[in-house]
Amino acid sequence: MSPLNIVTQNTSTGPVLQIVGDLDYFTAPELRESASELTLRTGQLLVMDLAGLEFCDSSGINALLGVRSVARAHSADTALAAVPANLLRILRIAGLDHVFTFLPHA
């Protein structure tokens, strides 16, 4: 089990959240809290960089959706970048490939 580490980087198009470690029942609230602390403006793109994500359960997926809701409340868009293959497969099976935009890298 790897601890969750979230690093926020501000870019000209919007914030990037680098999510590293395990995103699960115990750590999902950390992601939600990080998203709630962001300053988002209309039209920005909030990118969640998952290159360092080692594990994600259903609570983690729910947290990703929660971050998307925070962005939408500010009229901002979201994208998932560098999604690990196993998580990408699950997201596609769940139909979330129609909800999230996927980027090859952040």
Q: What pLDDT was estimated at residue 1?
A: 76
- 54's enclosing H/E stretch is strand 53-56
In whole angstroms, give the CA distance from residue 76 to residue 25: 26
Give the largest CA-CA distance in the chain: 37
Question: How much is the pTM?
Answer: 0.95
Q: What pLDDT was estimated at residue 20?
A: 98
User: What are the residue boundaries of the structural domains of the chain, listed by start?
Assistant: 5-103
Residue carrying structure tokens 């259903």: 58
- 79's enclosing H/E stretch is strand 77-81
* CATH fourth-level superfamily of 5-103: STAS domain (3.30.750.24)
pLDDT above 90 covers a percentage of the chain that reads 97
